[in-house]
């Protein structure tokens, strides 16, 4: 197994944009719950892109508790309440993602849901990281 996460890209497949088809890693597994875009006082950021930024920053804070960094991420699952809102903000979301996580793109899934537990939340993200030992 690799010492740090390795992107799995089957030969002949088109390169994905902004995510990996698969990842392999060996080490300490770090898993978050569903993370939303609220601050330490429990206030949700204003707007979809701002909530994504805060959720990603919250994930970084959780990872740090285990000595993990964004480059250790192997999987993200995004839950959005409005797919059109996500698609309409791709450029801004890409910039926010790179600002917080850099140019590391793990395996990702994006799912539209009817609603999230926090009614005003627009996005919830689960993360899995593997820290090499």
Taking only the tens place, the pLDDT of each residue in 3-56 is 678 999 999 999 998 999 999 999 999 999 999 999 999 999 999 999 999 999
Q: Which of the four pLDDT bands, split at 50, 70 and 90, describes residue 1?
A: very low
Domains, the chain, in order of start with CATH, read 17-131 (3.30.1330.40)
Token pair recorded at residue 116: 């999230």
What pLDDT is recorded for position 2?
A: 46
Q: In which residue are the tokens 């809102």 written? A: 85
DSSP state of 70: G
Exposure string for 53-82, b = 16+ CB within 10 A, e = fewer = bbbbbbbeebbeeeebebebbbbbebbbbe
Q: What is the pLDDT of residues 55-67, one digit of tens each?
A: 999 999 999 999 9
Q: Element (H or E) spanning 108, and its range?
A: strand 107-112
User: In the prediction, which pLDDT does 80 show?
Assistant: 98
pTM of the predicted model, to two decimals? 0.93
The pLDDT tens digits of the residues spanning 88-130 come to 999 999 999 999 999 999 999 999 999 999 999 999 999 999 9
């Amino acid at each position: 197994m690799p010492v740090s996460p390795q992107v799995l890209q089957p030969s002949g497949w088109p390169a994905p944009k902004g995510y990996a088809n698969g990842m392999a890693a060996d080490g300490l597994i770090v898993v978050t719950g569903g993370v939303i875009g609220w601050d330490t006082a429990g206030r949700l950021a204003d707007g979809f892109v701002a909530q994504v930024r805060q959720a990603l920053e919250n994930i970084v804070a959780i990872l740090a508790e285990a000595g993990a960094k964004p480059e250790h991420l192997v999987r993200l699952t995004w839950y959005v309440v409005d797919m059109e809102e996500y698609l309409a903000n791709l450029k801004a979301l890409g910039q926010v993602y790179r600002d917080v996580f850099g140019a590391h793109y793990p395996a990702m899934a994006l799912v539209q849901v009817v609603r999230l537990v926090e009614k005003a939340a627009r996005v919830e993200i689960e993360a899995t990281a593997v820290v090499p030992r």
